[in-house]
Amino acid sequence: MELVCPAGTPAALRAAVDAGAHCIYCGFADETNARNFPGLNFSRSELAQAVGYAHARGAKVLVAINTFPTAGKETLWHSAVADAETAGADAVILADLGLLAHTAERHPDLRRHLSVQAAAANPDAINFYAQAFDVRRVVLPRVLSVEEIAAINREIDVETEVFVFGGLCVMAEGRCSLSSYATGRSPNMNGVCSPPEHVDYATEGTDSVARLGGFTIHRTPKGGVAPYPTLCKGCFTSGDKTGHVFEDAVSLDASKLVPKLAKAGVTALKIEGRQRSRAYVAQIVRAFRAVTDALEDGRDPPALALARLSEGQAATTGAYAKTWR
Amino acid sequence: MDLTVAPNPFFWSADAVRSFYATLSDAPVARVVLGELVCSKRLPFWQDEIPLAVDSLQAGGKQVALTSLALITLRRERKLTADLLGLGLPVEVNDLSALHHIPQGVPFWVGPLVNVYNEGTLRWLARRGATRICLPPELPMASVAVLAEVAQAEGVALEVWGHGRLPLAISGRCYHARLHERAKDSCQFVCEQDPDGRDVDTLEGQRFLTVNGVQTLSQAYACMADHAVALRDMGISALRLQPQSAGFDALCADYAHLLAGDLSAQALVENLGAAHPDMQFCDGFGRDSAGATWRGHAVPV
């Protein structure tokens, strides 16, 4: 199984390659990718160098161009695709119909993966993208159980890639405007969710409060520290219920499900976290590489001690184990 | 410019559905999209109303289309989607997998839950057969203006979200069931208790979001009355109004008067406020701002 690892910087990319990543995904430093954070991502020359470094060590580089191009400014996205091809990228990860059509027509030899931002959640959607744009791999949305993934793989001819570790979108990705409702900036348009320039931390009495666009997302009493106000992970009130209405402050850890995912026909395992440090990336990559190597050799995969690397210190298997059903 | 009624995203009883569409047959709207958008489990409870509603709406001179589900995952949901095509009405695609079932050349509509953000996507859909597209609500006005020009060149009618709680997100998880500490498969249809969704406030009592099964909406009602003239001048051909459980006929009439130029935006907003004292409004997406803002101001607590 292929391990697809995040890199927000050239240093993180080298760390991931050195730690045994089969594949690294990254993006350009602009709004063409869904991790458009200050200080992150690659210039054109950095990408070319990174591809050289990875290829020399047998690893592949995938370039995420997975936001939805802005009307009137499509050339920014078109040049990102062209520049990824020029830099020698092994594939581009796309979500927008128009950009997929453009890439299939103008860059037919550049391998196309369907981003999770396209939220293709069933065989009909995947077969549609495969037939229309010759997409070769689809990153599955994090709303499916392992059984559903196995069923999907029986009906499609393209590869599937699934998230196994890191931040967890509880909404169908690429179809969520919660962030822009509160702040005006969204993953689809700007490549950001709950962006820091709209975050306000305050101490009120003994409470620590974290707001997003003026809306209170967390209020932690008695000297505790309010977590980062990612909108869907917030604590809210509805009728007589107060709590995490959408999702607890957990992150995804499907490491124990890797053998089942392999049986379900999954080709690649994806680790979220282009915004994380190179030390974090190296540690996660090494741990998961031990799992995929064991699987290749027919051994039982080692249990991973990744709990302290999980966001919010608690982990979930998300939709994979069907607990949402 | 005219009016399109969006599919009702909420779970209403069959009786409520019947009376809603019977009344709507006489409303001054040009077209109606109906069908189950949010949760396929609800459909058996009201699907027998659909042909009746179609007949009465068509008798009232309305153009009628059937929506796909917003998130199609299960086998029976895929079959449901494939079957929509055989019903002789235009299909409104709200999950792109519906396109897998629509042959090239067969006309279809595209709903606001499909990501149409740019010219390339709009042109591709037009050439695939799209004749009518409702843009995603979060789209900035500058984008709407660019897309309106392309749509006219491609012969596509373009719609903008005009009124109603904004559809902000769709999930594999059911929040109604979660709030009732139930799993999705044993939800016992608790969403039926909330005909306009269940409100979610911040810990400080700010009114914020509304959950509707697997869907999350804004708690404030989008109202694009202030922007109707600008949208018409751009070439937008319809405003889309989302059903709500009370006062929808009066609301349709007011928006029709607004488009006819015999009711001001201010008067429309005042009418709405008088009829629905608890209703909060927002129009931030029309002002390139946070969607929750209203007329340039943060939503009051």
Rounded to the nearest 5 degrees, what angle is found at the Cα of B217, between the Cα atoms of B255 and B26?
30
Q: Residue ranges of the domains in chain B?
A: 2-164+221-281
The architecture (CATH level 2) of B2-164+221-281 comes to Alpha-Beta Barrel (3.20)
pLDDT at B220 over 80: yes
Tell me which chain A residue has its CA closest to the CA of residue B113: A175
- CA of B169: which chain A residue's CA is closest? A176
Name the helix (H) or strand (E) containing A173.
none
State residue A39's pLDDT score. Answer: 83
Contacts of A245 in chain B (CB under 8 A): 175, 178-179, 200, 211
B201/A237 CB distance under 8 A: yes
Residue B252 annotated as binding site: no
For residue A2, the 8-state DSSP code is: E
What CATH class is the domain A2-168+250-316? alpha beta
Distance (Å) from the C-alpha of residue B22 to the closest C-alpha of chain A? 33
The span from the CA of A142 to the CA of A116, in Å, is 8
> CATH 3.20.20.70 residue ranges in chain A?
2-168+250-316
Each residue of A225-258: pLDDT tens digit? 888 999 999 999 999 999 999 987 778 889 889 9
User: Confidence band (pLDDT; 50, 70, 90) for A28?
Assistant: very high
Label residue A312 by pLDDT band (50, 70, 90). Answer: low
- In the predicted model, what is the mean pLDDT of residues B218-244? 98
DSSP H or E stretch at residue A313 = none
At A262, is the secondary structure helix, strand, or coil?
helix
Structure tokens at A146: 């392992």
Looking at this predicted complex, what is its ipTM? 0.97
B2-34: pLDDT as tens digits? 999 999 999 999 999 999 999 999 999 999 999
> Which residues of chain B have a CB within 8 Å of the CB of A128?
96-97, 99-100
C-alpha closest to that of A23 among A113, A146, A108: A113
How far apart, in Å, do the first and last CA atoms of chain B sit? Answer: 35
Which chain B residues touch A151 with a CB distance below 8 Å?
75
Instruction: Give the bridge partners for A162, in sequence order.
Output: A269
Q: Cβ(A207)–Cβ(A221) under 8 Å?
A: yes
Q: If you search the block for the tokens 């009732």, which residue do you land on?
A: B180
| CB-closest option in A96, A144, A148 to B117 | A96
Is 80 exceeded by the pLDDT of residue B107?
yes
Q: Which pLDDT score is estimated for A300?
A: 83
